[in-house]
Amino acid sequence: MPHWVYLVAAAVAWEAGKPLVIEEVEVAPPQKNEIRLKILFTALCHTDVYFWEAKGQTPLFPRIFGHEAGGVVESVGEGVTDLQPGDHVLPVFTGECKECPHCKSEESNMCDLLRINTDRGVMINDEKSRFSVNGKPIYHFLGTSTFSEYTVVHVGCVAKINSAAPLEKVCVLSCGISTGLGATINVAKPKKGQSIAVFGLGAVGLGAVTGARIAGASRIIGVDMNPSRLEEARKFGCTEFVNPKDHKKPVQQVIAEMTNGGVDRSVECTGSVQAMISAFECVHDGWGVAVLVGVPNKDDEFKTHPINFLTERTLKGTFFGNFKPRSDIPNVVEKYMKNELDLQLEKFITHSVPFSEINKAFDYMLKGEGLRCIIRMEG
């Protein structure tokens, strides 16, 4: 077990909404059931921005954000047997201990030990941070904190992947794209020829659109308030586009009228509680299934009339598209490499910046420009 501390560059968020600062950060060695990773590529996900802004969530600063990434194992802590230095991995914001009832269930990926916890800023093992600046602890984010040249992660939160996979592309499978893809193919499960509405056409939503296309959906209706997303969405497989701002009636009514009573499936990828309600109310009675993916504000309430359930509509939720990180993500990477999934990851990657310019990635996302910005740790 290694005992040395690394002094590395990391992008620290000192306070909500302020630009990240590249600092020299001490990264402690991995403890029991932990690994230390050298991050090679990381991407900015909307969830990072959401918690960096700290609107409607518990603020926790100073913090190192980042959770969509690819890297190489540098060292392993006590008890780690299935990973070794040199392994290529994707860190994942939710984990798989393989021991708890959830991990042993075929129906769930909500690990009791390692499920997503946005408020925890320390490691599970000893409730301490592995990051510090001049002796002052810096909080972790989602157990990953990939906006750092090196990071320490619980072994259950990394997926070991084929070392031949291009990390600069497959890193986006560690969060958003897999979340959207899995929400459709694992949870909504549209049958060939069915119709589906996808709310929110960012990277997660276009992952859901991709899943719908792979499943053989005949009508894929994209719903977004940004008209500039229309052309992008068509490239991923959207057949129609609805902008709620263009209509005086609720968008669920518009979709019901377009589809003779409602779509067969819907997937909501915005975090807006109104979009969640619309996604549920726009599915067809008798067999319609709506899947919620977006993370709402903590005080939001979902309101709909019980008759919508009684008339045999189904409402489901999912974290990470029901993929088990360690068991399933390596297979997704393999299928991508063998072209067994029509997953054109390069279409999702619209920008790339060196680590020193990480704040540019925030600017692109805040302006709604592009989908994923890859941050190259080595310039």
Of the residues 45, 157, 238, 282, only one is catalytic, namely 45
Name the catalytic one among 63, 88, 94, 111: 111
Q: Residue 314: helix, strand or coil by DSSP?
A: strand
One DSSP character per residue, 176-215 reads: HHHHHHHIIIIII-PPTT-EEEEE--SHHHHHHHHHHHHH
Q: What is the β-pairing status of strands 372-376 and 349-354? A: parallel
- Strand ranges of the sheet holding 195-199, from the earlier edge strand across to the other edge: 240-242, 219-223, 195-199, 265-268, 289-292, 314-317
Question: In which residue are the tokens 């003779």 written?
Answer: 260
CA 52/CA 55 separation, integer angstroms? 8
Strands in 215-307 per DSSP E: 219-223, 240-242, 265-268, 289-292
Q: Check 88, 97, 238, 351 and give the catalytic one.
A: 97
Active site residue 305: no
Catalytic residue (one of 42, 47, 151, 270): 47
Q: Pick the catalytic residue: 53, 100, 118, 357?
A: 100
Catalytic status, residue 284: no
Q: Is 47 among the catalytic positions?
A: yes
Token representation of residue 260: 């003779």
Q: Cβ neighbours of residue 28 under 8 Å, at least 6 residues apart? A: 5, 130, 131, 132, 152
**Would you call 45 a catalytic residue per the annotation?**
yes
**Apex 41 CA angle, 63 and 125, nearest 5:** 45
Q: Which of 88, 115, 313, 351 is an active site residue?
A: 115
d(CA 25, CA 137): 10
372 as an active site residue: the answer is: yes
The catalytically annotated residue of 23, 68, 74, 96 is: 68
Q: Which residues of 225-248 are buried (b: 16+ CB within 10 A; e: fewer)?
A: beeebeebbeebbbbbbbbbeeee
Reduce the DSSP state of residue 89 to 3 states and report it.
strand
103 labelled catalytic: yes
Catalytic residue among 171, 175, 238, 282: 175
Decide if 171 is catalytic: no
**Using CB atoms within 10 A of its CB, is residue 303 exposed (0-12), middle (13-18) or buried (19+)?**
exposed
Q: Hey, what long-range contacts does 128-131 have (CB within 8 A, 24 or more apart)?
A: 130/27, 130/28, 130/30, 130/31, 130/34, 131/10, 131/25, 131/26, 131/27, 131/28, 131/64
Active site includes 120? Answer: no
The answer to whether 106 is a known catalytic residue is: no
CA separation for the pair 182, 189 (Å, rounded):
9
Q: Write down the residue that tokens 């969509």 correspond to.
A: 68
> Is 282 strand, coil or helix?
coil
Per the annotation, the verdict on 282 as an active-site residue is no
Q: Which of 67, 265, 284, 351 is catalytic?
A: 67
150 φ, ψ (degrees, to nearest 5)? -130, 145
Residues catalogued as catalytic: 45-47, 67-68, 97, 100, 103, 111, 115, 175, 372
